[in-house]
Chains A and B, each alone.
Chain A
Amino acid sequence: MTAEGTEGAVEQLRLRARLARLRELPLLRGVGVSGEMARLQHQIDRIAEEPSADDVWQAVELARHQDRPYTLDYVERIFDDFIELHGDRSFADDAALVTGIGRFAGQTVALVGHQKGRDIRERTHRNFGMTYPEGYRKAMRVMELADRHGFPVFTLVDTPGAYPGVVAEQHGQGGWIARSQLLMLRLGIPTVSCIIGEGGSGGAVAIAVADRVLMQENSIYSVISPEGCAAILWRDAGEAKKAAAAFKPDAAHCLELGVIDGVVPEPPGGAHEQPDEAARLLGEALGIALNEVKGMDPTARRRERSEKFRRMGIFLE
């Protein structure tokens, strides 16, 4: 076979594998439930195609759009009642991360989510959604509360990353990110995470070690920001678009790599165009994912969650 022929065959295999995986997608089934077949088809077409550098960059821009709904925008639309809980019980209440309990589809659910600010004053107050160790400790205390009472946990991820500051380091930023992941692996209750904007590195994964991990269509999940990657590997933060195209932080690629379990559709043009509709789609997806894992025995659920993360990675042997 000629080199070109081999390449063509490999490409076909890749495409076939991609389509096979798409058929198993729980959340595309979810959209089907809403009866929006046209959007489902569009979604499949979009994901089935290899996203171009422009597609990836568009996701980066939409994920960070200043009008994009944040955690509390979804909470008020998805939950019937919600009481916010504050403080890490040590010495702070980190406003970059909100926690609470609320009523979702007739049951009590605990919520943990990053919160960016809308205007400059709130952004400063919320530290742009960049959490201190205190924020992860608050998340952990609320997840433990949920575990005691048998409440499922939803986490909504939207952070550029954990805060890179002197005090955050002194308070043990790395250690608390590690312990938050460890706690999430130990929870007996069902957990569902969704990346709703930026899933920035350790600060994101700290609250995303869940039974089901979803991404909204225009969110990103990445090991480093495009600018950070460009600054290190290209020695020029201006090459962020090239970096993003290279490390592929978009939902379609994360799904293909087996990192997430499903993609949550957004209204045309992005979640900010129709926040109510975006919230309805997100709520529906969270409900479907929760139902998938709700019936399991806690020990089996923990084991399955742990094994899911055990399998992640691609290497040669």
Chain B
Amino acid sequence: MASRIDVSIEHRGPEPEPTENHPNTCPSCNSHYRDEELDAALWVCPHCGHHFPVRARRRVEQIADRGTFEEKDTELRSADPLGFFDLRAYTERIAEAEVATGLGDALIAGAAMIERRPCELAVMDFAFMGGSMGSAVGEKFVRACERAVDRNVPLVCVTASGGARMQEGILSLMQLPKTVAAVDRLREAPVAFVSVMTHPTTAGVLASFASLGDVIVAEPGALLAFTGPRVVQQTTREKLPEDFGLAESNARFGHVDAIVPRPELRPYLGRLLALFS
């Protein structure tokens, strides 16, 4: 054994650049699909069941009855209250996200029908600055709650967010109590609130309205954690369990009511709304 000296470290070349996977390639089994194939499968890998991320408008198409979604507050936009500038200006990042996503901010909301039941539907989009919650997202969520109370219909909210938006500083932290106060008014009405957590729902969004649903539903494999695995690992040097923070772990510890695969989500929501009506 001693005759073999491991020199592989010295001989190893530079680390290869991490290759960016094509968005239509399954990160879990490497199968590749055309857009229409994934659309037909609701962006769930037909081979291994991996749930691809779903953009907000596509999500609305998946769960709302065709043609029933009436978007509100379409003109509401983020301001730049701090004049925030890191390596680039916040205003520039917003403009770029708007162009790239075709959205006004990281959440769209409006009236909809799900399986012929009326509701308010709010959906987040991770592609817009990591689904981060600043003043615009907070305000749009609160207004969706207020419309739900006014119309006496349930609120369904689909989250996908990295947390509060750093570029708005303390004002983004204040969106936590602001959205929680809106949920409080839903409870007082009472109007049902179904929270659908999708990958990823973390930090400020998990620590506010998303965790306060009357019923909390998660998509398979979604990361639902206050602190993500990388930061936990770096800060604590703890050994992380394999399913750290995933929907399945959250279900085991009692933090979500059900893990619902995407093809079953719409009928599941329909049944829930019927029971709450």
Task: Say if the beta carbon of A247 comes within 8 Å of chain B.
Answer: yes
Complex partner residue of A202 from B176, B184, B185, B225, CB under 8 angstroms: B176
User: Which residues of B are found within 8 Å of A316, using beta-carbon distances?
Assistant: 76-79, 136
B207:A223 contact, CB within 8 angstroms: no
List which A265-317 residues lie within 8 A (CB) of chain B: 306, 309-310, 312-317
Query: What CA separation (Å) do A224 and B140 show in the bound complex?
Result: 23
Contact of B212 among A168, A179, A243 (CB under 8 A): A179
Q: How far is the CA of A162 from the CA of B225 in the complex (A)?
A: 12
Tell me the smallest distance from the CB of A150 to a CB of chain B, in Å: 21
Q: Is the CB of A221 within 8 A of B170?
A: yes
State how many angstroms separate the Cβ of A172 from the closest Cβ of chain B: 5
Q: Is B128 part of the binding interface, using a Cβ–Cβ cutoff of 8 Å?
A: no
Q: A residues within 8 A CB of B224?
A: 174
Cβ–Cβ < 8 Å partners of A312 in chain B: 135, 138, 171, 174-175, 177-178
Asked if residues B176 and A224 are in contact (CB atoms below 8 Å), the reply is: no
In the bound complex, how far is the Cα of B204 from the Cα of A310, in angstroms? 17
- Contact across chains for A257 and B170 when beta carbons are under 8 A apart: yes
A-B pairs with CB below 8 Å: how many? 196
Chain A residues within 8 Å of B160, by CB:
none
Interface range, B side:
35 or more
Smallest CB separation, A309 vs chain B (Å): 4
Q: With A175-B211, A202-B204 as given contacts, are A248 and B169 in contact (CB-CB < 8 Å)?
A: yes
B240 within 8 A of A: yes
Q: For the complex, what is the distance from the CA of A232 to the CA of B132, rounded to whole Å?
A: 13
Can you name the residue of chain A whose Cβ is closest to the Cβ of B135? A313
Whole-angstrom distance between the Cβ of B82 and the nearest chain A Cβ: 6
Chain B residues, Cβ within 8 Å of A181: 176-177, 180, 208
CA distance A315 to B171 in the complex (A): 10
Q: Evaluate contact between A248 and B244: CB separation under 8 angstroms.
A: no
Q: Which residue of B lies closest to A200 (CB)?
A: B173
Q: Does A182 lie at the interface of the complex (its beta carbon under 8 Å from any beta carbon of B)?
A: yes
In the docked arrangement, what's the CA distance between A315 and B138, Å?
10
For residue A173, which residues in chain B have a CB less than 8 angstroms away from its CB? 207, 226-227
Contacts of B255 in A (CB 8 A): 172, 175
User: In the complex, are the beta carbons of A165 and B236 less than 8 A apart?
Assistant: yes
Measured between alpha carbons, how far is A181 from B254 in the docked complex, in Å?
A: 20
Is B110 in the interface zone, CB < 8 Å from A?
A: no
Whole-angstrom distance between the Cβ of A135 and the nearest chain B Cβ: 13
CA separation between A234 and B180, bound complex, in Å? 31
- Check B226–A166 contact: CB distance below 8 A: no
Pick the contact of A201 from B73, B171, B173, B178 — CB < 8 Å? B173
B241 on interface, CB distance cutoff 8 Å? yes
**Shortest CB–CB separation between residue A191 and chain B, in angstroms?**
12
A306 contacts which of B184, B206, B212 (Cβ < 8 Å)? B184
One of B139, B165, B208, B253 near A170 (C-beta < 8 A): B253
Which of B178, B185, B240 touches A166 (beta carbons < 8 Å)? Answer: B240
The residues of A that contact B178 with a CB separation of less than 8 Å are 309-310, 312-313
Beyond the given A172-B254, A246-B84, A309-B174, please list 17 additional residue pairs across the A-B interface where CB-CB is below 8 A: A166-B238, A169-B245, A170-B249, A175-B211, A181-B180, A185-B177, A205-B177, A209-B177, A209-B180, A222-B169, A232-B166, A249-B169, A306-B184, A306-B185, A313-B138, A313-B174, A314-B135
Q: Supply 27 A–B pairs (Cβ within 8 Å), ascending by A.
A: A169-B225, A170-B253, A175-B211, A177-B226, A182-B212, A184-B177, A201-B173, A202-B173, A205-B173, A205-B174, A222-B169, A222-B173, A224-B164, A234-B87, A246-B169, A247-B84, A247-B167, A253-B169, A259-B174, A309-B178, A312-B177, A313-B136, A314-B135, A315-B76, A315-B77, A315-B139, A316-B78
Q: Which 7 A-B pairs have the closest CB atoms?
A: A313-B135, A174-B206, A164-B227, A174-B226, A247-B169, A233-B86, A177-B207
